[in-house]
Amino acid sequence: MKWKLYWGGLAGCLAGLAFWKNSRRYPNMTFSMRAIKSLADVAITALLARFLSPLLVALCTFWTVQKTRGRFDGKPVWSICVGVVSGIFFSFIADQFLEVLLLLGAGGVVDQITGIRREFLGEEKAA
């Protein structure tokens, strides 16, 4: 009984985090579309964590490197270092505390898969 409450609470926390993130990122979507996208994000994250946790580690590492791109004066050596260190860190986290990786996955990593590409819609980013 105790574990069912734990996993139910974690699933509720993941769904709330994904819905909050989708509400901030996609304010033009309807409530039902944001809820469906949030449930899809949580389902993909949970399935990746359960069956393909190395792929979830790789996606978290890619997400971290993508966030640091262009911050180190265009020198790719720093992005490579960030990628290696974050890959080792996320592998350790996946081995010890899979729940942290689940929260990170629902918080932004899976949006790379299910998110709407602004470039695809014709909205260019301001340089």
User: Average pLDDT, stretch 103-126?
Assistant: 60
CA angle (86 as vertex; 17, 6 as ends), nearest 5:
35
Mean pLDDT of the chain, nearest integer: 78
- 31 pLDDT band, cuts 50/70/90, is very high
Across 70-104, b (16+ Cβ under 10 Å) vs e yields eeeeeeeeebeebbeebbeebbebbeeeeeebbeb
Task: Report pLDDT for 26.
Answer: 86
User: Average pLDDT, stretch 46-63?
Assistant: 82
Please write the tens of the pLDDT for every residue from 62-98.
Answer: 888 877 777 777 677 788 888 889 888 888 878 777 7
